[in-house]
Chains A and B, each alone.
Chain A
Amino acid sequence: MSDLPSAAFPTTAKVVVIGAGIVGNCVVGHLARLGWKDMVLIDKGPLPNPGGSTGHASNFIFPVDHNKEMALLGEQSANQYRDMNLSVDSGGIEVARTQDRMDELQRRMTSAKAWGIEAHLLTPAEVKELVPFVNEDVILGGFYCPTVSVVDSLETGTVMRKEAIETAGLQVFANTEVLDVVTDDTPRPNGRRKVTAVVTNKGTIETEHVVIACGVWSNRIAYMADTYIPLVPAVHQMADVGPMDILAETNNEIGYPIVRDMDTFCYERQSSGSMEVGSYGHRAILHHPDEIPSNEEAALSPTEMPFTPDDFDDQMETAIELMDMLGEAEIKYAINGLLSLTPDGMPCLGEIPDVENLWSAAAVWVKEGPGMGQVVAEWMTYGNPRVIDSHGADVARFYEQEKSDEHIWARAEESFIKTYGIVHPSEQWGDRRHLVEGPFRGRQEALGAEFFQARVWERPQWYNSNADLVERYGLSEREVEWDNRWWSPITVGEHLNLRENCGLIDLSAFQIYELEGPGAVEFADYLAVNKVDVPVGRSVYTPWLTPDGGFHSDLTMMRVGEETVRIVTGVFDGGRDEFWVRKHMPNDGSVTFRNLTMELSTLGLWGPHAPAVLAQLTDHDLSQVGSPYGSYLDATIAGVECKLFRISYVGDTGWEIYIPWDQATVVWDAILEAGKDHGIRATGGGVYSLSGRIEKGYRLVGAELESEYNPLEAGLARPKVKAANFIGREAYLAAREAGAEVQCVTLSVEDNTDSQGRKRYMQGGNEPILDMFGDRIIDSHGRASRVTTAGYAPSIGKVLLMGYVTNELAEPGTDLQVMYMNELYPCKVVGSGSAFDPEDTRLKS
Chain B
Amino acid sequence: MKILVCVKRVPAPGAKINVTADGSDVDAAHLGFTTSPHEECAVEGAVQLVEEHSGEVTVLTLGPGESEEQLRYAASVGAAHGVLVEVDGNGWDPQRTAAALTTAIEGIEAERGRFDLILFGNESADAGGFQVGVRVARALGRPMVQGIKGIEASGDGSGEGTITARREIDGGFEVYEIPRPAVLGVMEGLNLPRYPTMKGRLASKKIEIAKLAGHADEGGQSRITLHRPEEAVSETVILGTGAEAAAAVVDVLDELGVL
Contacts and interface: CB of A to CB of B under 8 A. Distances in A.
A463 B33 CA distance: 55
A298 interface: yes
A299 B30 CA distance: 9
Contact of B197 (A292, A300, A307, A329): A329
Contacts of B198: 241, 316, 319-320, 326-329, 331
Interface in A233-260: 241
Contact of B195 (A306, A313, A319, A331): A331
B202 A297 contact: no
B53 interface: no
A307 B18 contact: no
A4 B241 contact: yes
A313 B29 contact: no
A296 interface: yes
B196 interface: yes
A293 interface: yes
A328 B205 contact: no
Contact of A313 (B16, B33, B202, B238): B202
Contacts of B69: 309
A332 interface: yes
Contacts of A309: 69, 201
Nearest to B231: A296
A296 B69 CA distance: 25
Interface in A286-324: 291-294, 296-300, 305-307, 309, 313, 316-317, 319-320
Interface stretch (B7-15, B44-52, B55-63, B164-172): B7-15
B128 interface: no
A297 B201 contact: no
Contacts, number: 67
A330 B205 CA distance: 16
A296 B195 contact: no
Interface string B23-42: 00000011111000000000
Contacts of B33: 306
On chain B, which size bracket covers the interface? 20 to 34
B29 A2 contact: no
Interface string B162-188: 000000000000000000000000000
Contacts of A299: 12-15, 32
Nearest to A336: B32
B238 A320 contact: no
Contact of B14 (A4, A300, A307, A328): A300
A332 B15 contact: no
Nearest to B18: A297
A52 to B, nearest CB: 16
Nearest to B30: A293
B199 A320 contact: yes
Contacts of B13: 299
A780 to B, nearest CB: 46
B213 to A, nearest CB: 24
A228 B69 CA distance: 38
Contact of A317 (B18, B29, B202, B241): B202
A822 to B, nearest CB: 35
B32 A316 contact: no
Given A298-B30, A313-B205, A316-B202, A330 B15 contact: no
A296 B15 contact: yes
A626 B220 CA distance: 99
A300 B30 CA distance: 11
A271 to B, nearest CB: 15
A307 to B, nearest CB: 7
A298 B15 contact: yes
A243 to B, nearest CB: 11
B194 A297 contact: no
A263 to B, nearest CB: 19
A306 B29 CA distance: 11
B14 A330 contact: no
SS of A interface (majority):
mixed
A297 B32 contact: no
Interface string B204-219: 0100000000000000
B53 to A, nearest CB: 23
A300 B31 CA distance: 11
A331 B15 contact: no
Interface centre among B12, B30, B33, B198 (most CB of A within 10 A): B198
Contacts of A294: 16
Contacts of B14: 299-300
B69 to A, nearest CB: 8
B18 to A, nearest CB: 7
A346 B121 CA distance: 50
A327 B197 contact: yes
Nearest to A323: B198
A306 B16 contact: no
Contact of A296 (B16, B31, B241): B16
A2 B242 CA distance: 9
Contacts of B202: 313, 316-317, 320
A615 B198 CA distance: 75
Contacts of A4: 238, 241
Contacts of A327: 197-199
A215 to B, nearest CB: 18
B241 A328 contact: no
B32 A331 contact: no
A349 B194 CA distance: 45
Contacts of B31: 306
Nearest to B12: A299
Contact of A330 (B16, B18, B194, B241): B194
B195 A297 contact: no
B108 to A, nearest CB: 26
A493 to B, nearest CB: 54
B126 to A, nearest CB: 14
Contact of B30 (A297, A330, A331, A332): A297
Given A4-B238, A291-B29, A331 B196 contact: yes
A607 to B, nearest CB: 62
B15 A297 contact: yes
Contacts of A319: 198
A291 B31 CA distance: 11
Contacts of B242: 2
A241 B241 CA distance: 37
Contact of B201 (A292, A313, A332): A313
A331 B238 contact: no
B207 to A, nearest CB: 14
Interface centre among B32, B202, B242 (most CB of A within 10 A): B32
Contacts of A316: 198, 201-202
Contacts of A300: 14
Nearest to B244: A2
A330 B196 contact: yes
Given A297-B30, A327-B198, 18 more contacts: A3-B241, A4-B241, A241-B198, A293-B15, A296-B16, A297-B15, A299-B14, A299-B15, A305-B32, A306-B33, A307-B32, A313-B205, A326-B198, A328-B198, A329-B197, A330-B196, A331-B195, A331-B201
Interface of B: 12-16, 18, 29-33, 69, 194-199, 201-202, 205, 238, 241-242
Interface of A: 2-4, 241, 291-294, 296-300, 305-307, 309, 313, 316-317, 319-320, 326-332
